Amino acid sequence: MLAAQYVAGYGIEVAEVAPRPPGPGEVQVEVAYVGICGTDLHILAGHMDERIADHGVIGHEMSGRVAATGEGVTGWSPGDPVTVMPLRWCGQCPTCRAGNEHICDHLDFVGIDSPGAMQQRWTVPQELLVPLPGALSLRAAALVEPVAVAHHDVVRASLSPGESALVIGGGPIGVLIAVVARTRAAEVLLVEPDPYRRSVASGLGIDVLDSGSEDLTGALDAWSGGAGAAVTFEVSGTQAGLDLAVAALGARGRLVAVGIHAEPRRVDMRRVFWKELQLLGARVYERADFTAAVELLERGSVPVDAIVSRVDVLAQAPAAFDSLARGGRVMKVLVDCGAAGGSA
Ligand SMILES: [Zn+2]
Ligand SMILES: [Zn+2]
């Protein structure tokens, strides 16, 4: 079978490898689609070489069907449509014991710390599987993981109907946060520098602003009626984005830190004090976010076709990564690993 491997200092190589049969408690999944995300681009840039094995298989956003089950596996049969929640935790550390297993002190993020989904057959522990409704296409189901990220972010914000939410950064996660926030009847505005990404968001009926526009402050003031935002989602991972996320909040506003910052940042703590702001980290997701993401997709609340810009077959995975790394007119890129048979 084929697998897309990360080769340090080179990039992505598609190689012929033997599938690993499922051991006790494991399930082998025939992979349909794998999404490529910003984290995968960080891997490619060599930023995670201390975590990922050379020739390791990457990919953590996927859909597929059960192909085979190992000894002791119950409740799963070949052909069942599934996705995988790519987190493994120890269950023993203080973080796990406090009920925060998803950010375990020894978290194994599958697709970075252990082999990922971008292969035709992928063997995982059964407890990672999440069932999919038969009516949901496997192409749409490839978005369950990023929708779960967005759902977790919105839950962390405790967003209520009618509240104003500013999303800073309009890539796939930013747009999905806006989409999920809208399902909670929030007043959403998204700022993004890239005109193509702005056009995708505005095509979905999301209000957008150019983060580079001259009178951004004035426009934000007009939007919030001078009150400032109730919630800001910092998705850009930049100092400028963080500055805006603090400056745009009104009294007792909540800043949700979603983007990955490559280094420690400055935060205007004077304003945090003055306006009684709250800073909230939001990392990955919990099982409930996965369940909610499946439901949102099943209900058709997520505009899958607008978000998926391109699908490449597994043999062409290097081109799929290139298209994302080059930027331009692209949002989410999927790799077709074959299980959907090109029809779903
Ligand atoms: Zn991701
Ligand atoms: Zn733990």
Q: What amino acid positions are annotated as catalytic residues? A: 39, 42
Q: Is the pLDDT of residue 233 over 90?
A: yes
Query: Which bound ligand lies closest to the C-alpha atom of 105?
Result: 2
Class of domain 2-143+302-336: alpha beta
- How far apart are alpha carbons 22 and 342 in whole angstroms? 25
Confidence (pLDDT) at 129: 98
Per the listing, tokens 């919990």 go with 286
What DSSP element (H or E) covers 153?
helix 144-156
d(CA 238, ligand 2 centre) in Å: 29
**Confidence class of residue 343 from pLDDT cuts 50, 70 and 90?**
very low
Encoding tokens for residue 231? 């919630």
Report CA torsion sign: 133, 320, 127, 120: positive
Q: Which of 15, 44, 8 is nearest to 119 (CA)?
A: 15
Q: Is the pLDDT of residue 250 over 90?
A: yes
Chain mean pLDDT for the chain: 96
What is the percent of the chain with per-residue pLDDT over 90, rounded to a whole number? 96
Q: Is the pLDDT of residue 336 over 80?
A: yes
For the chain, the structural domain boundaries read 2-143+302-336, 148-281
Interacting residues of 298 by C-beta distance below 8 A, sequence separation 6+: 133, 135, 136
- How far apart are alpha carbons 169 and 158 in whole angstroms? 20
> What would the CATH number be for the domain defined by 148-281?
3.40.50.720
Query: DSSP 3-state assignment of 274?
Result: helix
Query: Which bound ligand lies closest to the C-alpha atom of 39?
Result: 1
CB atoms within 10 A of CB 93: 15
d(CA 94, ligand 2 centre) in Å: 7
Q: Which of 167, 197, 194, 168 is nearest to 179 (CA)?
A: 167
Confidence (pLDDT) at 344: 42
d(CA 91, ligand 2 centre) in Å: 5
Lowest-pLDDT range, 102-106, 124-128, 269-273, 324-328? 324-328
- How far apart are alpha carbons 69 and 47 in whole angstroms? 35
d(CA 33, ligand 1 centre) in Å: 14
Confidence (pLDDT) at 276: 98
Q: Is the pLDDT of residue 342 over 60?
A: no
Confidence (pLDDT) at 327: 84
Kindly report, residue by residue over 53-71, the tens digit of the pLDDT: 999 999 999 999 999 999 9
Kindly report, residue by residue over 153-187, the tens digit of the pLDDT: 999 999 999 999 999 999 999 999 999 999 999 99
Q: What's the whole-number mean pLDDT along residues 111-116?
A: 96
- How far apart are alpha carbons 315 and 321 in whole angstroms? 12
Confidence (pLDDT) at 328: 82
CB atoms within 10 A of CB 299: 10
Per the listing, tokens 């970075």 go with 112
